[in-house]
Structure 1
Amino acid sequence: MLTAESLKEYYPFNTFEPKFLPLLLEEIKTFEVNKGTILFRQGKHSKHTKYLLNGAVQIIQKDGRDKTVKSTSLQSKYPLSDAHKSNKVDATVISNTVQGFGINSILLDHFRVWNDLFLASSKDSPLRGHDSYHWVIGLLKSRSVQMLPQGHIEQIFKELTPDEVHHGDEVISEGEAGKHCYVIAAGKAAVFKCKAEGEAKVANLGPGDLFGENALVSNEPRTASVRMTSDGLLMKLEGKRFSALLKSHVVRWITSQTALQKIASGGVLIDVREEDEFARQRIEGCVNVPSSDIRQRLKQLDPKKAIITCSNQGGRSASAAFLLATLGFDVYALQGGINSLLKSADL
């Protein structure tokens, strides 16, 4: 059985602050497979870094060289293959069975950045002194952060500032301009939206959840309010730094000509304006999903198809593209708004 203590035998876990190992153990998946099972295949990237606990695996390099890794060897304390090079090897189980464990490669890479920053930080750093560090795992697992290069991970943590909050505090208010986004380090919060019949709760938030980013992406007023449902601690990121560190890497812009090509190849055009705006001007075949309703209407979207979001100028389409990208969709934001597409299509 793999424990936090036994995890110390494996690299790079043996370089981590010991109190972080139980957190990482929660993210690890153990496996048991039979002889002949292929763990890595040339030409196919693996999303997980894998380790050997018991048994033997044969690894064949792209140039034909091969080696056998046994669980009794020192080599088994290292990954069977660097995740970034997993597409360059074949790794096949050659013992009757193999037991091992794996962890998301991006999470592991980004956690190494966090760990190094934590160890180098001063004792009075806002990164230290937390009762729990589940928020770090939650943040690093968020789709938007997983899409970032490692250099930006360090900058995000360096830019975070703590903000103590209390039960009932309204952190952001619907209709106001966005100046910051937040990560919940401790405590719980709820998301509320104004509807015709009154205010309604639409989501709950907890440690590791990122919120307040949509208004920073779209440069438009907040579309919801967030209130604390317990005392807690938030880690705050200033809007300009958010744009520099996250927005530019998550939102993929697309020209109208390229958008038309993707639509011709089966892509879906999503108009994220409000229903009344869509009624006044629409593109045939376009689906109207207002940006404020995207989370509630995800089942209408096919994750296997490319999505192009559009709005009048591009602000709301960027916000929608950011959200959909963080949810795993292949999504692009249309440059120049709807009129640029109408002009290109000569509609």
Structure 2
Amino acid sequence: MSSVPLSFEQLGSYSPMDFLTPHYRQQLHASLQYLQRPAGTLLLHKGERSLAQYYLLSGKVAVDAGPARQTFEGGSPQAHMPLNGSQPNPATVKALTDVSLFAVEHQLLERLLGWSQEAAYQVSSLGGMVEEQADEDWLARLLGTPLFGRLAPSHLHALLARFDYVEVEAGQRVVSYGEPGEHFYVIKRGRASISLPSAYSEQPALTLGEGEFFGEEALISGAVRSASVTMLEAGELARLHREDFVELVRPTLIPQISRNELARLSQQGSRKYLLLDVRLALEYRLGHQPESLNLPVANLRTHADSLDRDTSYVVTPEGGIRSELAVHLLNQLGFDAYLLGEQPPLAA
């Protein structure tokens, strides 16, 4: 069986990846998951929903859609189409030989296709005084972040229409530690420095550039600013008011997964997952969900290097706002994280 990952060029021969712009195809290429299954494995069940879209790389499968049954092999024209291009799965698929496949998250593919189709319109709608290419640069970087990676294209267009743009000078402090959060910011042009309180002096200084953002944590948690941000050079910021952020962005920052979806993910075996309880240790000891690991939200950043990036992290909801903030922080750090729905009783 073939276990060699697809090249960026090879990915373009699969449908509908050929419709993606190079930038979004590269983003999809980095997210591909590769699987190998032995002969006789039932790969897909007709009528069930899958979190991913699957493609056959090598081996032979049988596709049974009900009135018709067909077989095909990796490398054939049929193999360049998805085994389950729609939801629920349109057919039952069984491996007739050992097979290699690759998987693409359904929602990610749909978003990237939408962005590819609407990119030109979105950029032209921004207006402003800078050239279109500069708009594309900062916007492309913004869309590539975990924060905006979950935003539907139509939602994104509404969001961009509500940004206002402010010129800033070198040395200007944009937000200050301890003050209420009123705006979310994206750097459209220039660079900024994040400075933490003296208690966190051991943390390295962080510099933000074009397409990077700040100010969202205070708007998610309702707390005051946790750091100060100062411009290192003159530039321009895209700014979104709190009410618009809460309406348009905040719901997408906290992706949720139900217990049924979690069970399907576990059965498919395509990705490991770990339950996280982000409350304090004392709260955790008083009652927690079975099999959950305690990692207080305050320790997420300092313990990020010890977390496995091939694991999906499902945060239990008992922490309330802290649980929501933890999901956002994990996704911002590049992990795959969700808030668990359908809360059951706690186990003491």
Counterparts of 1:70-219 in structure 2 under 5 Å?
70-71=73-74, 73-82=76-85, 84-86=87-89, 89-95=91-97, 97-98=99-100, 100-121=101-122, 123=124, 125=126, 128-130=132-134, 132=137, 135-139=141-145, 141-142=146-147, 145-146=149-150, 151-160=154-163, 170-183=173-186, 191-196=194-199, 201=204, 210-219=213-222
Deviation string, structure 1 residues 306-347 (Cα, Å, up to 9, x no partner): 2412xxxxxxx53x2332222325368x9xxxxxxxxxxxxx
Deviation string, structure 1 residues 59-91 (Cα, Å, up to 9, x no partner): 234x585332444554333222136434x6443
Aligned residues: 297
Q: Aligned partners of 1:69, 1:186: CA distance in 2, in Å?
A: 51
- Aligned partner of 2:316 in structure 1 is 306
- Aligned partner of 1:10 in structure 2 is 14
Unmatched segments (≥5 aa) in structure 1? 254-265, 273-277, 310-316, 335-347
How far has the Cα of 1:5 moved from its partner? 4.4
How far has the Cα of 1:24 moved from its partner? 3.1
Paired-residue identity, %: 22
Counterparts of 1:283-302 in structure 2 under 5 Å?
285=286, 295-296=301-302
Q: Aligned partners of 1:105, 1:220: CA distance in 2, in Å?
A: 34
Higher alpha-carbon deviation: 149-158 or 286-295: 286-295
Q: Aligned partners of 1:163, 1:4: CA distance in 2, in Å?
A: 38
Report the AA paired with residue 112 of structure 2. F
Q: Is the 8 A contact 1:177 1:220 kept in 2?
A: yes
Q: Is the 8 A contact 1:109 1:150 kept in 2?
A: no
- Aligned partner of 2:56 in structure 1 is 52
Unmatched segments (≥5 aa) in structure 2? 257-274, 289-293, 308-312, 331-336, 344-348
Q: Aligned partners of 1:11, 1:155: CA distance in 2, in Å?
A: 29
Higher alpha-carbon deviation: 73-82 or 43-52: 43-52
How far has the Cα of 1:233 moved from its partner? 6.7
Q: Aligned partners of 2:165, 2:103: CA distance in 1, in Å?
A: 33
How far has the Cα of 1:159 moved from its partner? 4.0
Q: Aligned partners of 1:167, 1:89: CA distance in 2, in Å?
A: 59
Counterparts of 1:191-270 in structure 2 under 5 Å?
191-196=194-199, 201=204, 210-227=213-230, 235-248=238-251, 250=253, 270=279
- The SS at the match of 2:71 is strand
Q: What is the TM-score of this pair, normalised by structure 1?
A: 0.62
Indicate which of 28, 37, 40 corresponds to 2:43.
40
How far has the Cα of 1:194 moved from its partner? 1.0
| Aligned-CA RMSD value | 4.9
Q: What is the TM-score of this pair, normalised by structure 2?
A: 0.62
